[in-house]
Amino acid sequence: MNEQQRSILLDSSSRFPIPSGVKFSYGTSGFRADASLLESTVFRVGILAALRSIHTRSVIGLMITASHNEVSDNGVKVADPSGGMLTQSWEPFADALANAPDSHALLKLLDDFVKEENIIFEGVPTVEVFLGRDTRPSGTSLVEAAKQGITSIMGAIATDMGVVTTPQLHWMVRSKNKGTEASEYSYFDQLLVSLRCLLDYIPQGNKSNDVSDKLIVDGADGVGGEKLEKLKTRLSYLKIDVRNRGDGVLNEGVGADYVQKEKLVPRGFGPVDTGIRCASLDGDADRLVYFSVLPNSNKIDLVDGDKILSLFALFLKEQLSILSGSEDGKANKSYQASLGVVQTAYANGASTDYLKQLGLEVVFTPTGVKYLHEKAAEYDVGIYFEANGHGTVLFSENILSWLEIKSNELASTSKDSEQHKAALRLLAVSKLINQAVGDALSGLLLVEAILKHMDWSIDKWSELYQDLPSRQLKVKVVDRTAVITANAETIVVRPTGIQDAIDVETAKYPQGRCFIRPSGTEDVVRVYAEASTQEAADSLAHSVVKLVDQFLGFK
């Protein structure tokens, strides 16, 4: 960096001193904290995003959100050129940047990193960062801090995309770097065109009136409800009633996280909604779960991310199977696509068993989208979902090229054959689903299209398999980093002895399964337990909480 650049960084960073007594860590969801503590961090992530743009010669994204957290929190995360998460190799730099004690320490860190990564400032055509924020009141001032950070790198442009869902921002970054239009209108347009294609190719025998076209959506009083209100004006097939779209407190008694964890109706829902298909988004609309309201109760029948994954897997397997055959019933050996399913230890054991019974390859990764996404990208078609409703489908460039060629061949030789329709359906799914990141809006439209294709009600979908009862608890501890896990977080390596104790407790319960892991975003240890009954799952979870206290100590 030249002296002018150093001078600008020294001057601008002095206006954003870091809060005392706080240590920031770039986790799976970027940085998150009480919004009042974040100005310096967001400013510094702005610098990082501009450097990333220089290094990759691409547009980078920066999103201000705390997703499903309470409204007083906020956060910041970076979208890489592909629209995916920030590369893991830059995460230690993000940590060091956020925690540099003063402007001079920050400048030395930047100087060293620029040299180490060989970041060359000359000859970059455009240094641009797309900025987005959710509906949190604190987002406005934090976006301004991000802009100051971005523009403290000479020549860098901060393009404010306004209030958007997190998946929209990731999609816009991906689109811009692929050379296509990156606007909210083009995002909506791609979803709607792809959805129309899927609906047009529903098998004739499945076009019944048995599946209701009414859907009620809980918008979590966040950005997703606001955007769905816009989108639904262009949807002719679905009748969507969007509730909790800003008239209450963000994520308070509403949203996918609340519905999935508590298994209760969100605010604004009740017995009058019994029998109607319902869905819930989270605060920034990257999570989606479905549910139906139980009669005369505030409880629900939850259809979580595991069952969304199972629905997608079933449909995609069916389409690939059609393509691997031929019109005379003989196998087509021209291309055998690999289809893989990626889960975490939080996936309900019944879902994993179901997927394996379908003959699918199921693999596990540690918790966190970056791990799931990376593994799913190894397949021609990779599906990943967490039980919390965050997930997507990835299509390799190889299979997309093959599908384009195949659909063109079939259009000239066997137009409107089942193979031709299957190829077109798969291409439509690849455009409808957000391949950059989990997206509640695109996921919701794909669910609706597949349910219509299958002619399934939510009850039929829910009956794919019966979830094992489970319980999730979190425990505040003195030091969460004392917990070290292995085997995709299913085994505790340290503290020594705790895994043996967990195994002893788990063995007491039929179909028992239990694991603990340190949170990536909070100073807590998370406990997950499954068993044959809810009472047993609760008992197992609470027994293991006591073990955590014994080995680690409550905070």
pLDDT digits (tens, 9 = 90+) for 208-259: 556 788 999 999 999 999 999 999 999 988 999 999 999 999 999 999 999 9
Decide if 462 is catalytic: no
Amino acid at position 327, single letter = E
416 appears as a binding residue in the annotation: no
The per-residue pLDDT for 332 is 53
pLDDT 10s digits, 309-343: 999 999 999 999 999 874 444 445 556 899 999 99
Q: Which residues pair with 239 in a beta bridge?
A: 214
Length of the chain: 555
175 appears as a binding residue in the annotation: no
Mean pLDDT of all residues in 449-466: 96
Domains annotated for the chain, with CATH where assigned, are 3-180 (3.40.120.10), 213-303 (3.40.120.10), 306-442 (3.40.120), 470-552 (3.30.310.50)
Select from 334, 320, 329 the least CA-distant residue to 382.
320
Please, what is the average pLDDT of the chain?
94
111 appears as a binding residue in the annotation: no
387 appears as a binding residue in the annotation: yes
Mean pLDDT of all residues in 179-193: 97
User: Residue 114 CB: number of other CB atoms within 10 A?
Assistant: 17
388 appears as a binding residue in the annotation: yes
User: Residue 137 CB: number of other CB atoms within 10 A?
Assistant: 11
CA angle 467, 468, 473 (to 5 degrees): 110
Q: What is the pTM of this model?
A: 0.93
Q: Which contiguous run of DSSP H or E holds residue 513?
A: strand 513-518
Contact predicate 250/224, CB 8 Å: no
What is the CB-side half-sphere exposure of residue 117 using CA atoms within 13 A? 19
Is residue 521's pLDDT more than 80?
A: no
Residue with tokens 């087509």: 332
**Helix or strand or coil: residue 58?**
coil
The per-residue pLDDT for 327 is 45
Amino acid at position 177, single letter = N
The residue annotated as part of the active site, out of 13, 67, 175, 280, is 67
Amino acid at position 257, single letter = D
Query: CB-based contacts of 325: which residues, under 8 Å, 6+ apart?
Result: 331, 332, 419
User: Residue 353 CB: number of other CB atoms within 10 A?
Assistant: 12
284 appears as a binding residue in the annotation: yes
The per-residue pLDDT for 328 is 43
